[in-house]
Amino acid sequence: MNFGHWMALESAMQGDQPRRSISRATLKRIIAFARPHRRGLAWFLLLSVIGAVLTVVTPLLAGRVVDEITSGGGGAGVVVGLAVAIAVVAVAEAGFGLLERWQSAKIGEGLILDLRRAVFAHVQRMPVAFFMRTRTGALVSRLNNDVIGAQRAFTWTLSGVVSNVIALVLTLAVMLRLSWSITLLALVLLPLFVVPARRMGSRLAQLERESANHDAAMTTQMTERFSAPGATLVKLFGRPAREEEEFGRRAERVAVIGVRAAMGNYVFMTALALVSALALALVYGLGGYLAVRESLDPGTVVTLALLLGQLYAPLTALASARVDAMTALVSFERVFEVLDLEPLIAEAPTARTVPEGPIAVELDHVRFAYPSADKVSLASLEEVAVLDTRGGEEVLHDISLRVEPGQMVALVGTSGSGKSTIASLIPRLYDVDHGTVKVGGIDVRELSFESLRGAVGVVTQDGHLFHDTVRENLRFAKSEAADDELWDALRRARLEPLVRSLPSGLDTVVGERGYRFSGGERQRMTIARLLLAHPRIVILDEATSALDSTSEADVQAALTTALEGRTALVIAHRLSTIVAADQILVLENGRIVERGTHRELLAAGGRYAELYRTQFSDGGVTDGPRASNACDALDSRSCDDRLVASAAD
């Protein structure tokens, strides 16, 4: 059985898929993607045509050999010449086949490259809200499975249709010319194979989909359970046995499906071979009978027999050609679905740069609501039937604040009051609905992304690191940084001794999300990365709230260096870390309810004083009493000095 027979099997296995139509707009976009490869496609189609022609030439030459042998008129020289011609055709067919495969691979990989670049670049421009809703596995599948499915439209499907049509037309034309009666009788047997094959293909397709679903579930389970947090959760709740049982059940089902699919494939190939053999017997029987009666040349019988072997696979494949094409083109639709999702955050055509020198941050009457799912996501990427239409409820109400150059302003309040939302508006992770956010006196919507990212540095609570070396994690902030700069940033982040003690130093891999480091060490790594970027505005989003007292002291010492001379907006859960702020803003339900210094707010006896008393009362955080005793009798700058000295100790 040749490759065409396997392609016929795959075509049959698609037979139960629903009929779909592809819009003209989609076809135009596909043509646009294919346009850069048009020259390669032309060569590919030409090679396919030549290959199809050569497959018909060999049986004709073989028939001539038989005729020369049986007639005895041409002599040995003619027979040898024909044999040499057959050999030359075989070599040529193999050579053109290699060229066709090379051209096919070149076009396919080039198309995959173009699509992956386009999708990856587009996804990079999507807002943070998109990634908060989208399942990572579904998004990765678009970059892998669907892109490869789209590529298939230009290689297997296109080449299969072209070569099969040419081979079928040439084969039928030659066979009908040689003996129309034998050809028609041979074709009568085709339904005996195609109809059962398509029914069996439906069953095989169902099994394949079930297997794919189980494989996806196992992949999800492995991805989640093999991560450090997932593995820890499984161990803490004592579920290893149950996890093994669930995984084993799915794996066992996949194994059973594998056996059934293997048998189905074998039955298909056996049926194809059987029908081909029956048709071959018909050709030899009827053709031989006619040859004996001298109504047909012996060579013609051999030619018909050889051509018959090249007839059934193309017929079977073309019977499902439309389904094959639709299946491949649907992958294009799924890729275009992602590309058509417009990013909510776009750079202005005439974007400006942040002014030089110290810069201020200002929010002027800002109102904001998080976008609903239908504006930032796709149902297929969230793996739901219908997107959640909820959202659009305002979470920030008429927020106005200003952080002067070199000042530190702190945001405090209960969880959900809007602190982190404000912080996300300054680097333009989201755009405001009303009002303006200004950096250096310019609306952030008028600034270029590169300029804004270079001016604003953020340290978040989780201290995220990539599964890469210490060097590359630091260079994420400054790709051209030399090792001396890296060591200087680590020194200022109080992390140099630790990194120098590691076996590979800067080349040490930090592990997934940096789990080979402690929480405090990860946080200081992010501070070192920020110091390397040298931003003029620093945003600290509860950078120490998840740390113990010792780690917090180390991180606070590093933050003191990071904030020096910079405009700073600090979101704090532990009030001991922000008593020295130039101004403290208290948020509740998306509104600023109090403003002032630490001492002013304590004296006012309002919400801040309530939070302070709650946090530093008996049973509060361990460093609360120390901070309270150290600061109650001091002005803010003296308190800041005391806290920095305490952290350094």
DSSP 51-118: HHHHHHHHHHHHHHHHHHHHH--SHHHHHHHHHHHHHHHHHHHHHHHHHHHHHHHHHHHHHHHHHHHH
Which of 267-271, 276-280, 348-352, 434-438 is predicted least confidently?
A: 267-271
Cα(188)–Cα(197) distance, rounded to whole angstroms? 16
SS3 254: helix
Instruction: Give, as one character, the DSSP assignment of residue 510.
Output: -
Instruction: Give, as one character, the DSSP assignment of residue 469.
Output: B
Mean per-residue pLDDT for 599-620? 80
Instruction: Give, as one character, the DSSP assignment of residue 157.
Output: I
Query: How is residue 531 written in tokens?
Result: 């110091």
The amino acid present at 604, given as its one-letter code, is A
pLDDT at 14: 47
Which of 148-157, 387-396, 481-490 is predicted least confidently?
A: 148-157
Greatest mean pLDDT range, 121-135, 288-302, 303-317, 424-438: 424-438
Query: Confidence class of residue 286 from pLDDT cuts 50, 70 and 90?
Result: confident
Cross-strand partners of 361:
403, 439
Q: What percent of the chain has pLDDT over 70?
A: 77
State which fold the 361-648 domain adopts. Answer: Rossmann fold (3.40.50)
pLDDT at 197: 62
Cα(284)–Cα(302) distance, rounded to whole angstroms? 8
164 vs 208, residue with greater confidence? 164
Cross-strand partners of 569:
409, 539
Cα(522)–Cα(525) distance, rounded to whole angstroms? 5
Asked if residue 380 has pLDDT above 80, the reply is no
pLDDT digits (tens, 9 = 90+) for 535-553: 899 998 876 655 556 666 7
Mean per-residue pLDDT for 108-115? 82
Mean per-residue pLDDT for 557-585? 82
Asked if residue 635 has pLDDT above 70, the reply is no
pLDDT at 156: 67
The amino acid present at 366, given as its one-letter code, is V
Task: Indicate the class that CATH gives domain 3-339.
Answer: mainly alpha
Asked if residue 198 has pLDDT above 70, the reply is no
pLDDT digits (tens, 9 = 90+) for 265-278: 777 777 767 777 78
Which of 29-38, 208-217, 245-254, 521-530 is predicted least confidently?
A: 208-217
15 vs 90, residue with greater confidence? 90
Q: How many CB atoms lie within 10 A of CB 393?
A: 9
pLDDT at 540: 86
Contact assessment for residue 408 and residue 570, using Cβ atoms and an 8 Å cutoff: yes
Asked if residue 519 has pLDDT above 80, the reply is no
The whole-chain average pLDDT of the chain stands at 78
Query: How is residue 466 written in tokens?
Result: 């990539």
Per-domain residue ranges of the chain: 3-339, 361-648
Instruction: Give, as one character, the DSSP assignment of residue 154.
Output: I
pLDDT at 559: 72
Q: What is the chain's Cα-based Rg?
A: 36
Query: How is residue 142 written in tokens?
Result: 């678009």
Residues in the chain: 649
Mean per-residue pLDDT for 278-297? 82
Alpha helices for 309-418 (secondary structure H): 312-319, 321-339, 373-376, 379-382
Sign of CA dihedral 13, 16, 17, 19: positive
Query: Confidence class of residue 388 from pLDDT cuts 50, 70 and 90?
Result: low
SS3 584: strand
Cα(145)–Cα(219) distance, rounded to whole angstroms? 14
Sign of CA dihedral 409, 410, 416, 417: negative
Q: Kindly report the pTM of this predicted structure.
A: 0.67
Which of 129-143, 350-364, 379-393, 595-609 is predicted least confidently?
A: 379-393
Asked if residue 149 has pLDDT above 70, the reply is yes
pLDDT at 586: 94
Mean per-residue pLDDT for 624-639? 37
Of 175, 156, 151, 174, nearest in space to 48 by CA:
156
Of 265, 266, 263, 275, nearest in space to 194 by CA:
275
pLDDT at 36: 86
